[in-house]
């Protein structure tokens, strides 16, 4: 809450603030392109804004987990979509070192939770209420998990929120780590094609949410009481009997950016993108097959009101 | 194993092999009896481990930070050739690049090679991945000379200083068996972000085949040739440069070919770090969206490169014949002219892909197939899990349950199983095959407990016994020491899981691959079908096949098992066929003359003769299976592969390197064991 407030004030300040110097416009600002479409959209919108301000922009492909060394070294200037639920320890180290600085939230309202493709509701009547899963475990059972049901959890390097929830709610499910995002999507595809049961941990904004009509299971909203106090929530003897803590999506930049490209730093710091804007663009790319450049360009020209003020505040 | 063949039919000579087997049996039985009272026999207590991964991490980080400035300088220096190569390849018009490749193809191998170059690169152009492909190619163009220099230097050093030979061999083994993912993090820290990391990683991986071939080539130079050099008064350097290296030329060119292929197979690994927008990155993106058709298309671009480069460099190595350079110049000229025309008409940019429709169709078919055969696929998977993989991992006593086998495993069933095993062993001993008997008993014990639950003292003793009988007492000590380091570093449990998964895959590959190799040896049409399949399985980035496997069989061990098999089965097929096909004709004639039937010739002449080659194939299969473990972690396996992946994500240098080392240790021991047995067989056959 505090953070949102801070960002809002930042925007207000930026609008009234004096224009910053452009800085080194002859050197390209390098923005990280990670492995997923949503991030491509986020980054290309930001890149176009920087171009509109008079900068050169270069998009550099970089593994999400491996980019931080590059940002700390200044080889990449900024990365614009870091999920707090999925960030390596290295990031924390670099922040502590001071070689990377956080530059505010992106404003994307993310949601993570226990989920299922819509057709599964027929196989386990009573969904989306979580209580229905108590009696359905057998439906989700597989060779590896028998007699328990199978929950496809995040890949092991993203943590094990699914396993914690199963223990918290006391549900007879065994969490199986997915290994990779591709594995999660393949599971969803196969389940939708075969109309077979599937229960997994998923998140939005993501193009697959609409492509496979993914629904979230209803659970009590996550909060600190639930995470720390066993007596809170439907299961009096365990913590974690609630939804996920809200995921923060934020931006980070090389610490030298503010001196080298002051205005660009200000633009990226104030840059915001809402789910309502991002998710249709993701769909236009992954479901309808458009190119990132075209889709972003179309959105930019239709929604000047949403990004122009940020650029103008920093440059004029 | 030598003992197992001839002398054993007499009474019961207590050969070293039999002693070792009996000792293993004894330790196994003791562990089995004591385990209810001493649980530490199964699960190695956490309190006995050392925080080795942290030490490794801390130590390495200090070292890395010390040498970082020097290495960064190297990174800066190497970035120049990289950007030049990239500028030339990505900047040159596509018609010029295709023309050049076709011209080179003609020069090396006439119209066949020219056509291969034209069609291959034409496909790349039409796939719509031209820019990405040229980025990839420029990485290969710089990394291969680097790998050749490194490999050549190691090879020469080993040749000049015989004392360094053994340590260098071990270093080469490590370079090939430590999974690349394990050292990507330290490389990233050292060299900084960008293509340089991928370049260095692929140079490390591609150097060993070069080094081995240089060593082999120099070793095989005829003594007369060497003496001629000495007699004409050449210095050592002159002798090496002017006599020995040219004499070893052919073997060294084989090394170059292998080096190119290895570098190309690393492309996808380098893409994980990014920074280069290459074809491997495309494969990763499509893989993330589970788009099989598109991933396959991008993967085929890499296969195409591999085939063109392999065939052309093989010509360079094996054939002396060269074709008329004037035709090459003409072809090159056509390329230049086309490029000029395209540039003038303003259509020089590479065309969009024309295979998007085909890729979508493949993707659709996969979906429809999954939908139509869901039940059958589930049945296959459940069958394999219930009756094969699960018992192997956790043992019959835990895997046999009412909802898997239809009944509950009981104590008395265990007793019956052991009784049956003991009877079989007795029978074998009485007929003079004591070794077989002991092996049966050990096998029954493993089946009852499951590989993941094996008591660690038993594993240590069994490995030592195997090492003793196949290589010798010194290697037994080395084996125990190496396995001991895994034990105290706290990675034991994961190592056993990896051992189980790759072990079962190797067993399946040995059976199925052996049978396919046999088939390919006796039937030409079968080989005609199997050969291109083998080529493709070895060069396509394996990520691509994870998608259909996942769609069919979901996340889990069975999918991982299949993915490992798909890759590791290839050497088994190739070497089995190779061994069977190369039986000397005079042996076959002798057998035919003495009136042997075809089946008898196969069993009594060709198979025994092929045994050493087949064992070499098995050795390669084992190494491949270990290499695949890390990629199988993307499907969600547990074990060392997952630890390495986790470490990469978390930038945990210590865990990554330790888990990588553990994996290399397992591969190293398995490799030496099989080589030991192969050596034995060769001695029996009088081949060495």
Q: Testing the interface with B: which of A33, A189, A285, A291 to mutate, by most B Cβ within 10 A?
A: A189
**pLDDT, chain B, mean:** 83
Mutate to test the interface with A, among B269, B555, B562, B563 (most CBs of A within 10 A): B555
Is A87 in the B-facing interface, judged by CB distances under 8 Å?
A: no
The answer, yes or no, to whether residue B191 has pLDDT greater than 80, is yes
- What's the pLDDT tens digit per position in B97-152? 999 999 999 888 888 889 999 999 999 999 888 888 988 888 888 888 889 999 99
Domains (ranges, CATH) in chain A? 2-109+248-315 (3.40.190.10), 111-228 (3.40.190.100)
Which pLDDT does position A1 carry in this prediction? 42
CB of B181 within 8 Å of a chain A CB? The answer is no
| pLDDT at residue B12, rounded to an integer | 54
Among residues B499, B399, B510, the alpha carbon closest in space to that of B451 is found at B499
Q: Is B550–A35 a contact, with Cβ atoms under 8 angstroms apart?
A: no
Cα–Cα–Cα angle for A268, A273, A274, nearest 5°?
160
Q: Does the CB of A76 have a partner CB in chain B at under 8 Å? A: yes
B359 and B501, same domain (yes or no): no
Interface contacts A/B by beta carbons within 8 Å: 159
Compute the average pLDDT of residues B283-310: 85
Residue B50, pLDDT score: 79
Residue B596 sits in a domain whose CATH number is: 1.10.3720.10
- Closest-CA residue in chain B for A153? B636
To the nearest whole angstrom, how far is the Cα of B374 from the nearest Cα of chain A? 6
Cβ pair B551:A186 closer than 8 A: yes
Q: Is B66 within the bounds of a domain? A: no
pLDDT at A43: 94
Q: Do B374 and A196 touch (CB under 8 A)?
A: yes
Residue A17 pLDDT > 70: no
Shared domain check, B499 and B351: no
Which of B349, B365, B381 lies at the terminal end of a domain, its last residue?
B365
State the pLDDT at residue B121. Answer: 93
Distances in Å between the Cα of A215 and the Cα atoms of A62, A114, A128, B551 are: 31, 9, 8, 21
Q: How far from the centroid of its chain's Cα atoms is residue B535's Cα?
A: 14
Domain boundary among B365, B387, B415: B365
Does residue B545 sit within a domain? yes
In chain A, DSSP assigns E strands to 29-33, 57-61, 78-83, 100-105, 111-117, 149-153, 173-177, 200-204, 214-216, 249-254
pLDDT digits (tens, 9 = 90+) for B473-486: 889 999 999 999 89
Residues 6+ apart with CB under 8 A from B536: B303
Which of A286-300, B352-366, B457-471 has the weakest average pLDDT?
Answer: B352-366
pLDDT score for A198: 92
Q: Given CB atoms, is B272 within the 8 Å cutoff of chain A? A: yes
pLDDT for B588-632, tens place per residue?
Answer: 888 888 888 888 888 888 888 888 788 878 888 888 888 888 888
Least confident of A41-55, A117-131, B119-133, B215-229: B215-229
Tell me if chain B has a CB within 8 Å of the CB of A227: no
Q: Does B41 map to a domain? A: no
Mutual angle of helices B543-553 and B279-288, in 10-degree steps: 10
Specify the number of domains making up chain B.
2
Instruction: Out of A144, A152, A157, name the one closest to residue B646 (CB).
Output: A157
Confidence of residue A298 (pLDDT cuts 50, 70, 90): very high
Q: pLDDT for B529-551, tens place per residue?
A: 888 888 777 777 777 778 888 88
pLDDT digits (tens, 9 = 90+) for B667-683: 889 888 888 888 887 78
- pLDDT number for residue B7: 42
Determine, yes or no, domain membership for B169: no
Residue B286, in any domain of the structure: no
Show the tokens assigned to A305. 């009101």
Asked if B273 and A66 come within 8 Å (Cβ–Cβ), the reply is yes
Please tell me which of A116-130, A152-166, B281-295, B628-642 the model is most confident about, judged by mean pLDDT.
Answer: A116-130
Of B274, B633, B634, the CB nearest to A66: B274
Contact check, Cβ <8 Å, A189/B290:
yes
Which of B132, B547, B554, B560 to probe by mutation at the A interface, max A CB count within 10 Å? Answer: B554
For residue A28, give the DSSP letter: P
| Contact check, Cβ <8 Å, B546/A143 | no
Q: Which of B74-83, B187-196, B259-268 has the highest mean pLDDT?
A: B74-83
pLDDT band per the 50, 70, 90 thresholds, residue B3: very low
Facing B651 at nearest CB: one of A36, A88, A182: A88
Measured CA to CA, the distance from residue B348 to residue B338 in angstroms comes to 9
Is residue B233 predicted with pLDDT exceeding 60? yes
A residues 168-187 closer than 8 Å to B (CB)? 176-183, 185-187
Q: Please tell me the distance in Å from B176's CA to the nearest CA on chain A.
A: 23
8 Å CB contact between A155 and B636: yes
The reply to whether B646 falls in a domain is yes
For residue B81, give how far its alpha carbon lies from the nearest alpha carbon of chain A (Å). Answer: 18
Same domain, B534 and B673: yes
Quick check: is B235 in a domain? no
Optimal mutation site among B83, B131, B193, interface A, most CBs of chain A within 10 A: B193
pLDDT at B688: 54
Residues A20-60 pLDDT 10s: 788 888 889 999 988 888 899 999 999 999 999 999 999 98
Which of B188, B368, B633 is opposite residue A69, by nearest beta carbon?
B188
* Contact partners, residue B546, CB within 8 Å, separation at least 6: A182, A183, A186, B287, B559, B563, B631, B634, B635
Interchain pair A183, B390: CB under 8 A: no
User: Which residues is A102 bridged to in the sheet?
Assistant: A252
pLDDT exceeds cutoff 80 at B154: yes
Is B300 a residue whose pLDDT tops 80? yes
Mean pLDDT of A55-76: 86
**Residue A79 in contact with partner chain B when CB distance is under 8 A:** no
CA distance A255 to chain B (A): 16
Q: B189: distance to nearest CA of chain A, Å?
A: 7
- Of the two residues B390 and A40, the one the predictor is more confident about is A40
B359's CB contacts (< 8 A; 6+ apart) are B291, B293, B294, B296, B297
- The residue range of the domain holding B313 is 92-126+293-365
Share of chain A above pLDDT 70, in %: 94
> Which residue of A35, A88, A195 is in closest CB contact with B288?
A35
End position of a domain, from candidates B301, B336, B365:
B365
Task: From chain B, pick out residues whose CB is under 8 angstroms from the CB of A79.
Answer: none
Q: What is the pLDDT of residues B58-111, one digit of tens each?
A: 888 888 888 888 888 888 888 888 888 888 888 888 888 999 999 999 888 888
A119 touches B at CB < 8 Å: no
Tell me how far CA of residue B637 lies from CA of A177, B271, B652, in angstroms: 8, 22, 19
**What's the whole-number average pLDDT of chain A?**
85
pLDDT band at A269 (very low <50, low <70, confident <90, very high): very high
CA distance A178 to chain B (A): 5
Closest CA to B307 of B128, B140, B113, B520: B113
> Does residue B327 sit within a domain?
yes
User: What pLDDT score does A255 carry?
Assistant: 92
User: Average pLDDT in the A221-227 region?
Assistant: 83
Across the interface, which of A90, A143, A185 has its CB nearest the CB of B381?
A: A143
Is residue A116 within 8 Å of B531, Cβ to Cβ?
no
pLDDT band at A18 (very low <50, low <70, confident <90, very high): low
Is residue A154 pLDDT above 60, yes or no?
Answer: yes
Interchain proximity A144–B648, CB inside 8 Å? no
The beta-carbon neighbor of A182 closest among B193, B287, B367 is B287
Chain segment A76-87, per-residue pLDDT in tens: 999 999 988 777
Q: What is the pLDDT of residues B333-344, one digit of tens each?
A: 888 888 888 888
CB of A291 within 8 Å of a chain B CB? The answer is no
Q: Nearest by CB to B555, which of A63, A75, A187?
A: A187
Which of B196 and A256 is assigned the larger pLDDT?
A256
Look at B371 and A193 and tell me if their CB atoms are within 8 Å: yes
Q: How far is A302 from chain B (nearest CA, A)?
A: 27
């Amino acid at each position: 809450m505090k953070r949102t407030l801070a960002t809002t004030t930042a925007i207000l300040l930026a609008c009234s603030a004096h224009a910053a110097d452009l800085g080194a416009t002859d050197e390209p600002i390098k923005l990280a392109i990670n492995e997923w479409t949503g991030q491509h959209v986020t980054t290309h919108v930001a890149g176009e804004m920087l171009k509109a301000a008079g900068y050169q922009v270069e998009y550099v492909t970089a593994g999400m987990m491996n980019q931080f060394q590059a940002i700390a070294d200044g080889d990449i200037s900024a990365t614009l979509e870091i999920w707090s639920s999925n960030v390596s320890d290295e990031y924390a180290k670099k922040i502590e070192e001071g070689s990377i600085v956080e530059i505010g939230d992106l404003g994307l309202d993310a949601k993570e939770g226990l989920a299922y493709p819509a057709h599964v509701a027929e196989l386990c009547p009573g969904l989306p209420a979580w209580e229905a899963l108590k009696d359905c475990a057998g439906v989700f059972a597989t060779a590896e998990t028998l007699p328990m049901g199978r929950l496809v959890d995040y890949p092991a390097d993203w943590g094990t929120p699914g396993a914690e929830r199963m223990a918290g709610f006391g549900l007879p499910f065994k969490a199986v780590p997915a290994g990779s995002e591709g594995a999660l999507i393949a599971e969803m595809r196969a389940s939708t094609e075969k109309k077979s049961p599937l229960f997994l941990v998923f998140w939005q904004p993501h193009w697959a949410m609409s492509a496979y009509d993914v629904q979230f299971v209803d659970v009590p909203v996550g909060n600190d009481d639930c995470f720390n106090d066993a007596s809170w929530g439907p299961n009096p003897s365990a913590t974690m009997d609630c939804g996920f803590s809200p995921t923060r999506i934020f931006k980070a930049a090389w610490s030298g950016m503010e001196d080298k490209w002051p205005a660009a730093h200000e633009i990226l710091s104030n840059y915001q993108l809402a789910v309502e804007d991002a998710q249709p663009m993701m769909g236009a790319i992954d479901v309808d097959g458009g190119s990132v450049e075209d889709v972003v360009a179309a959105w930019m020209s239709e929604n000047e009101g949403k990004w122009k003020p940020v650029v103008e505040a920093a440059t004029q | 194993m030598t003992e197992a063949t001839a002398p054993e039919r007499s009474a019961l000579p207590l050969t070293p092999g039999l002693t070792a087997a009996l000792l293993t049996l004894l330790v196994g039985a003791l562990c089995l009896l004591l385990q209810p009272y001493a649980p530490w026999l199964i699960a190695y207590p956490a309190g006995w481990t050392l925080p080795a991964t942290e030490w490794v991490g801390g130590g390495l980080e200090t070292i890395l930070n010390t040498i970082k400035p020097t290495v960064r300088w190297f990174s800066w220096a190497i970035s120049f050739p990289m950007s030049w190569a990239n500028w030339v390849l990505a900047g040159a018009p596509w018609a010029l690049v295709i023309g050049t490749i076709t011209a080179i193809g003609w020069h090396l191998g006439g119209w066949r090679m020219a056509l291969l170059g034209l069609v291959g690169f034409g496909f790349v152009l039409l796939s719509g991945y031209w820019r990405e492909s040229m980025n990839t190619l420029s990485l290969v163009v710089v990394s291969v000379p680097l790998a050749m220099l490194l490999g050549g230097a190691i090879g020469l050093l080993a040749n000049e200083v015989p004392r360094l030979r053994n340590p260098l061999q071990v270093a080469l083994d490590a370079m090939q068996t430590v999974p690349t993912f394990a050292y990507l993090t330290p490389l990233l820290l050292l060299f900084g972000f960008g293509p340089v990391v991928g370049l260095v990683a692929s140079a490390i991986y591609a150097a060993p085949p070069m080094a081995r071939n240089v060593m082999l080539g120099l070793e095989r130079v005829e003594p007369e040739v060497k003496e001629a050099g000495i007699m004409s008064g050449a210095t050592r350097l002159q002798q090496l440069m002017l006599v020995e290296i040219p004499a070893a030329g052919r073997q060294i060119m084989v090394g170059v070919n292998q080096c190119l292929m290895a570098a190309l197979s690393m492309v996808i690994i380098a893409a994980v770090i990014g920074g280069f927008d290459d074809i491997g990155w495309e494969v990763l993106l499509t893989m993330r969206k589970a788009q099989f058709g598109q991933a396959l298309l991008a993967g085929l671009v890499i296969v195409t490169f591999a085939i063109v480069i392999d065939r052309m460099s093989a010509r360079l190595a094996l054939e002396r014949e060269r074709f008329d350079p004037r035709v090459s110049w003409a072809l090159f000229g056509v390329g230049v002219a086309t490029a000029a025309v395209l540039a003038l008409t303003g259509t020089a940019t590479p065309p969009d892909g024309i295979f998007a429709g085909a890729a979508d169709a493949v993707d659709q078919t996969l979906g429809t197939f999954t939908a139509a055969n869901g039940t059958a696929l589930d049945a296959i998977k459940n069958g394999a899990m219930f009756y094969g993989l699960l018992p192997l991992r956790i043992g019959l006593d835990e895997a046999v349950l009412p909802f898997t086998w239809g009944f509950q495993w009981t104590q008395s069933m265990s007793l019956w199983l052991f009784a049956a095993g003991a009877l079989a062993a007795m029978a074998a001993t009485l007929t003079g095959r004591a070794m077989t008997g002991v092996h049966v008993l050990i096998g029954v014990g493993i089946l009852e407990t499951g590989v993941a639950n094996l008591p660690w003292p038993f594993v240590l003793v069994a490995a030592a016994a195997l090492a003793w009988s196949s290589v010798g007492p010194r290697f037994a000590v080395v084996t125990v020491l190496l396995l001991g380091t895994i034990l105290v570093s706290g990675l034991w449990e994961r190592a056993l899981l990896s051992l189980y998964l790759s072990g079962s895959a190797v067993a399946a590959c040995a059976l199925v691959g052996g049978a396919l190799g046999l088939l390919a040896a006796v039937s030409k049409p079968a080989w005609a079908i199997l050969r291109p399949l083998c080529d493709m399985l070895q060069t396509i980035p394996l990520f691509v096949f994870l998608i259909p496997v996942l769609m069919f069989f979901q996340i889990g061990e069975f999918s991982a098992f299949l993915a490992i098999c798909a890759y590791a089965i290839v050497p088994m097929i190739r070497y089995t066929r190779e061994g069977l096909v190369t039986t000397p004709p005079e042996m076959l004639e002798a057998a035919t003359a003495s009136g042997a039937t075809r089946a008898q010739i196969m069993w009594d002449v060709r198979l025994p003769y092929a045994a050493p080659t087949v064992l070499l194939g098995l050795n390669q299969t084992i190494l491949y299976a270990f290499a695949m473990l890390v990629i199988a972690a993307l499907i969600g396996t547990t074990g060392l592969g997952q630890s390495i992946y986790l470490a990469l994500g978390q930038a945990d240098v210590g865990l990554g390197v330790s888990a990588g080392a553990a994996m290399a240790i397992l591969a190293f021991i398995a490799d030496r064991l099989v080589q030991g047995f192969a050596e034995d067989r060769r001695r029996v056959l009088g081949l060495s």
